[in-house]
Homo-oligomer: A and B are copies of this chain.
Amino acid sequence: MNNTENNYIYGKNPVYEILTKNPKRINKIYIQKGISYDKRLKNISELAFQNKIVVQNVNLQKFSEYFEEKTNFQGVIAHVAPVEYIELDEFLETNKNDFKRIVILDGVSDPHNFGAIIRTVAAAGFDGVMVSNHRSCPINATVEKISSGAINHIPIIKTTSLSASIDLLKKHDFWVIATQMEAKDNYYEIDYTDMNFALVMGSEGKGISKTILNKADFCVKLESNFESLNVSATTAVILYEALRQIKIKTK
């Protein structure tokens, strides 16, 4: 039975199955507005809650365009990622002799930017991208395409709380670097070598949330003569500055 089209899985049994076997692949669950919950749908709803997966009540008819044939969704659709997310614990356990360097996206929701950043992390030879369960872009076909396949090489760490995950990173000797237009230091004025670091990038509109900013060890800016630079371009500039410093030091 193939009922995955464009990363959507529908029907009570298939959704229940992926919820029990592989909940990390699920971006979001949609349940028909006004539907009466039978036992299966209640189970789905409870499992989603336990796994901290967002459930939205909508008119499922709006999904029809994604499916070739007329389909009976049985009141439930799950949007799944083409790759598996990993947990921060798992990521921290993976062995690596060198330092770990990751990018944290706080509210970056544009799939072009998300895909481009994953590609840049892979190109720079860094280690992962962390996103939050809520304020982030799901991994979809656009992200996969723009990442140019890098999505299959770079672990995407998903967390229900960026704030708690940053605390955990700090316990594991990570330095947290936030980007902010009002920062005092230029991005090239800090030393990125010989350390684990997490570079936090905010959304173009809103920037980084205050709670996260307060946890940062450094704040850096990237000067611009014209509005701000695009978020994926900014990430590329900073990651390659880090790489430049690392290369020069290890030469």
Contact = CB atoms under 8 A, between A and B. Distances in A.
Interface in A98-120: 112, 116, 119-120
Nearest to A122: B226
A123 B240 contact: no
29 contacts: A116-B233, A119-B230, A119-B233, A120-B233, A122-B225, A122-B226, A123-B224, A123-B226, A123-B227, A123-B229, A124-B224, A124-B225, A148-B227, A149-B227, A150-B226, A150-B227, A186-B247, A188-B248, A222-B240, A223-B247, A229-B236, A232-B233, A233-B233, A234-B236, A236-B236, A236-B237, A237-B237, A237-B240, A241-B244
A36 B83 CA distance: 56
A66 to B, nearest CB: 23
How many identical chains are in the complex? 2
A33 interface: no
A243 to B, nearest CB: 8
Interface in A164-195: 186, 188
Contacts of A229: 119-120, 123, 236
Interface in A192-251: 222-230, 232-234, 236-237, 240-241, 243-244, 247-248
A153 interface: yes
Contacts of A149: 227
Contacts of A248: 188
Interface in A28-58: none
Contacts of A226: 119, 122-123, 125, 150, 153
Contacts of A148: 227, 230
Contacts of A120: 229-230, 233
Nearest to A243: B223
Contacts of A125: 225-226
